Amino acid sequence: MKYKLSVTKGFASAHCLREYKGKCENVHGHNWKIRAAFGGTQLDKTGMLIDFTDLKAHLDKIMTYLDHKFLNETAPFDKINPTAENIALYIFEELKKAETLTAKVAEVEVWESDTSSATITAE
């Protein structure tokens, strides 16, 4: 049996897409919604895959770093395009720091609007 648990947080920021031909090449903002999921096959002695409190704290740290920033001037997006896909990858990589022996990052979904999201998965 595989377990997966997730938390959802958000942040607000502005960005513009480099080398994009269209209105998104101009500076604009989003109220991003992030869903981060961890997965694993074993629970700890308390019956948890990973404590929601710990997962929220790690995600909060990342959200605080990105919140109310112009992403194009914020590492690593000062060098890579701040697309939803690249934001998902960045958050995924940062969350790897929260992995335990039994709980690994399974996926990160980044919503830039109510109808548009990008997801990166471990598989």
Domain ranges of the chain: 3-121
Q: Residue 33: what pLDDT?
A: 98
For the entire predicted model, the pTM comes to 0.96
CA-to-CA separations, 73 to 38, 48, 65, 77, 78, in angstroms, rounded: 29, 38, 12, 7, 5
User: Is position 58 annotated in a ligand binding site?
Assistant: no
How do residues 62-104 score in pLDDT, each as one tens digit? 999 999 999 999 999 999 999 999 999 999 999 999 999 899 9
Q: How far from chain centre, in Å, is Cα 86?
A: 9
Q: pLDDT > 90: what percent of the chain?
A: 97
Q: What is the set of active-site residues?
A: 24, 68, 112
Query: How far from 95 is each of 23, 30, 55, 111, 114, CA to CA, in Å?
Result: 31, 22, 9, 17, 24
CA angle 33, 23, 28 (to 5 degrees): 40
What pLDDT sits at residue 97? 96
Q: Is 30 annotated as a binding residue?
A: yes
Residue appearing with tokens 């929260």:
98
**Residue 15 labelled as part of a binding site:** yes
Percent of the chain at pLDDT > 70 equals 99
Q: Quote the pLDDT of residue 78.
A: 98
Class of domain 3-121: alpha beta
